[in-house]
């Protein structure tokens, strides 16, 4: 799993398509090259809670992404999963469902904007 680490990459994804589903917010954009592997980043603001709560929320998002992005991720796309206040306490099956719904919805929105369909 390639990771987003530079602030500029996170800001570019924030300007892309954003979907909120349950306990997660997903931001998605195309990366520079279409054949590049998908990349993913994780973030949690102080609204989520103290450092322990933010770290737990990001761990849960990493676990969900490692299960779902190999199946649903697209080459040449960048994904940012943003934790919400309920990410740390939501049932993991429900969190997986939230990420799946957000991915499918964001891909549809991005396809509508770019005029593509895969």
Stretches where the chain sits below pLDDT 50 are none
Q: Which run of H or of E encompasses 12?
A: helix 7-14
pLDDT in tens, 95-104: 999 999 999 9
Inter-axis angle of helices 92-114 and 51-72, to 10 degrees?
60
If one counts every other C-beta atom within 10 angstroms of the C-beta of residue 115, the result is: 6
pTM score of the predicted model? 0.91
Tell me the three state secondary structure of residue 36. coil
Q: Which domains does the chain have, with CATH numbers?
A: 2-109 (3.30.230.10)
Q: Is residue 78 a contact partner of residue 8, using CB atoms and an 8 Å limit? A: no
Report the largest interatomic distance among the alpha carbons of the chain, rounded to a whole angstrom: 42
Task: Give me the pLDDT at residue 55, please.
Answer: 96
């Amino acid at each position: 799993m390639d990771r987003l680490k530079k602030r500029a990459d996170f800001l570019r994804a924030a300007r892309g398509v954003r979907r909120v589903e349950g306990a997660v917010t997903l931001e998605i954009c195309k990366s520079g090259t279409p054949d590049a592997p998908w990349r993913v980043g994780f973030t949690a603001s102080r609204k989520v809670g103290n450092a322990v709560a933010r770290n737990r929320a990001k761990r849960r998002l990493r676990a969900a992404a490692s299960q779902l992005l190999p199946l649903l991720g697209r080459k040449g796309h960048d994904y940012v999963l943003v934790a919400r206040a309920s990410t740390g306490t939501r049932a993991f099956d429900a969190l997986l469902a939230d990420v799946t719904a957000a991915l499918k919805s964001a891909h549809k929105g991005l396809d509508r904007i770019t005029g593509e369909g895969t």
